[in-house]
Amino acid sequence: MATKANGRWLVLAIPYLWLLALFLVPFLIVFKISLSQDAIAQPPYVPTFDLAQGWALFRENLSELSFENYGYVLSWDNEFIEAYGSSLWIAGISTILLLLVGYPIAYAMARAPKSIRPTLLMLVILPFWTSFLIRVYAWIGILSPEGLLNQLLIALHIISPDAPLQILATDTAVYIGIVYSYLPFMILPLYAALEKMDETLLEAAADLGCPPFAAFWKITWPLSLPGVFAGCLLCFIPAVGEFVIPDLLGGSDTLMIGKVLWTEFSVNRSWTVSSAVAVLLLMVLVIPIVFYQNLQAREVEGR
């Protein structure tokens, strides 16, 4: 009996400890470093805590922690607040676009004959398996001034060769990139919700004289809401911190917090300020993340 219980606890303890050590503890370290100061040292911040230093020095180090970096990040003189705002804005608009593009596709997939549904589903998932970086990269060749889209439009005499569309290096390109890369994440939860729907409900509505659009609005839409929420959160939260898409497709004036954090870390080499940026980003996202966790737990664990 004892070994049985031990085995049971081992199954729990291994993934639990792994996530504690490599997911939770790192956040605590980020928080601690966000309260430290930059230094020319290895690692490049003070104070560092070393338990071997003894208690007195430890307490002295503790008093050196300050919220200075937060003051720096939250000051209007620097562009951080703007970057948070514009990230939320870009992610929000992209999520709405994703819903508008994804919903009709998911709806049509759920209506399709049962025999071709698995194939359609695989066709949606397949681009997701191909590298994210490659898919973003593919758009550079399409959207650049001498790119394929402009060539097509010039060939069709829609625009003149002298004035190609400037899409690459603008926010529009970022929207296109996000919608393109995250589309499977929007379609899959929507499809899952719509496919489960009982079609006899719509038949009943039609029999009772309800026009199709009203039936959609009163029956299909409310029933698909769990999918809508899951899809939107699954796209919105990572999009806020997106780095690759604004970096490759956006212009120098595209301000997104993921890119700012990256620059602060790798170019300005300020680990303490980038930690403060990360902590604040997490605080902005904590409400949608908790909401998503609850949704996911209910969905997956069947509670």
Partner 1 sequence: MRKGLSWFNVTSIALGFTFLYIPIILLVIYSFNASRLVTVWAGFSTHWYWQLFQNQQLLDAAWVTLRVAFLTATVATVLGTLAAITLTRYGRFLGRTLFSGMVYAPLVMPEVITGLSLLLLFVAIGLDRGFWTITLAHITFTMCFVSVVVQSRLVTFDRSLEEAALDLGCTPFRTFFVITLPIILPAVVSGWMLAFTLSLDDLVIASFTTGPGATTLPMRIYSQVRLGVTPEINAACTILIAIVTVVVIFASIMTKRQEAERQKAERLAAAG
What per-residue string of b and e applies to 89-124 under the rule 16 or more CB within 10 Å gives b?
ebbebbbebbbeebbebbbebbeeeeeeeeebbeeb
| Cβ partners under 8 Å of residue 44, min gap 6 | 38, 269, 271
4 near partner 1, rule: CB under 8 A: yes
Judge contact between 231 and 185, C-beta under 8 A: yes
Q: Which CB sits closer to partner 1, 13 or 158?
A: 13
The window from 29-37, 59-67, 156-164, 221-229 that contacts partner 1 (CB under 8 A) reads 29-37
Rounded-to-integer distance, Cα 13 and Cα 145, Å: 55
Query: Which has the closest alpha carbon to 177: 233, 237, 97?
Result: 97
**Is position 117 an interface residue for partner 1 (rule: CB under 8 A)?**
no
Interaction between residue 89 and partner 1 (CB under 8 A): no
Site for partner 1 in 176-235 (CB under 8 A): 180, 183, 187, 199, 202-203, 206, 233-234
Applying CB under 8 A, among 41, 113, 209, 283 the residue interacting with partner 1 is 113
Q: For residue 43, is the peptide bond before it cis, meaning its omega torsion is within 30 degrees of 0?
A: yes
Q: How far is the CB of 12 from partner 1 (least distance, A)?
A: 5
Q: How many CA atoms lie within 13 A of 139 on its CB side?
A: 25
User: Contact at 8 Å (CB) between 243 and 259?
Assistant: yes
Binding mask of the shown chain, residues 39 to 78, with x at each position contacting partner 1 by CB under 8 A: ----x-----------------------------------
How many residues interact with partner 1 (rule CB under 8 A)?
95
Judged by beta carbon, residue 76 or residue 213, the one nearer partner 1 is 213
**Out of 125, 163, 214, 225, which residue is the one contacting partner 1 (CB under 8 A)?**
125
> Which residues on neighbouring strands pair with residue 46, listed in sequence order?
37
Query: Is 123 a binder of partner 1 (CB under 8 A)?
Result: yes
**Residue 126 found at the interface with partner 1 (CB under 8 A):** yes
> What length is written for the chain?
303
**111 in contact with partner 1 (CB under 8 A):** yes
The least distance separating partner 1 from the CB of residue 257, rounded to whole angstroms, comes to 8
CB closer to partner 1 out of 171 and 275: 275
